Amino acid sequence: MRNQRYISLCVVIFAISLLVACGSEAASTDGTSDPIASSVSAESNEDAASVIVDNGGIYTIDDFKAVGYKNVTQFDLETLPGANDAWYGFYNQKDYEVRFYESHQAALDQGLEPAEIAVEKGAVGYSKRPPLRFDEFAIIGNVVMLCELSIESCEALIAELE
């Protein structure tokens, strides 16, 4: 009897959480203009929670550092086929992973699938740091960015690059 009450309570809490989550998502899509989408052609991939922007930019880590990105750890490229540089760092108190490719097309062809896998994977631990969670990603020019928690954090960094 006690287990049935516990299960019923869990189901009710789950249902309420689901309703609250759906309601807050609907409230955030109120049709206000998005500065990234209005300034460049962006396509949204709702399944992978991503933004893809082909602005013709070819960026390096120096471009990111110039707008305030703090690069902390350079990655071994063995697990990122086609990438020519990759860094973990932060900007505005948010964690990012930036992966650089030869071109926008190379970022799409070789960087999209690893980004989707990283986002689906969940929390990733780095040495001497608590696990991070990259929930979304963006591709701008030749760069694939993994974003902490929301696409808005990537959009803020993209806005600075432009």
Section 46-51 average pLDDT:
57
Find all residues with CB under 8 Å of 57, minimum gap 6, and list them: 104, 140, 141, 142, 143, 161
pLDDT at 118: 83
Section 63-84 average pLDDT:
92
The model's confidence at residue 109, banded by pLDDT at 50, 70 and 90, is very high
Tell me the C-alpha distance between 161 and 67, whole Å. 7
> For the CA atoms of the chain, what is the radius of gyration?
18
pLDDT at residue 82 greater than cutoff 70: yes
pTM listed for this prediction: 0.66
Question: Which of the given ranges, 17-21, 104-108, 113-117, has the highest pLDDT on average?
Answer: 104-108
Mean pLDDT of the chain: 73
Residue 68 has φ and ψ, to the nearest 5°, of 110, 0
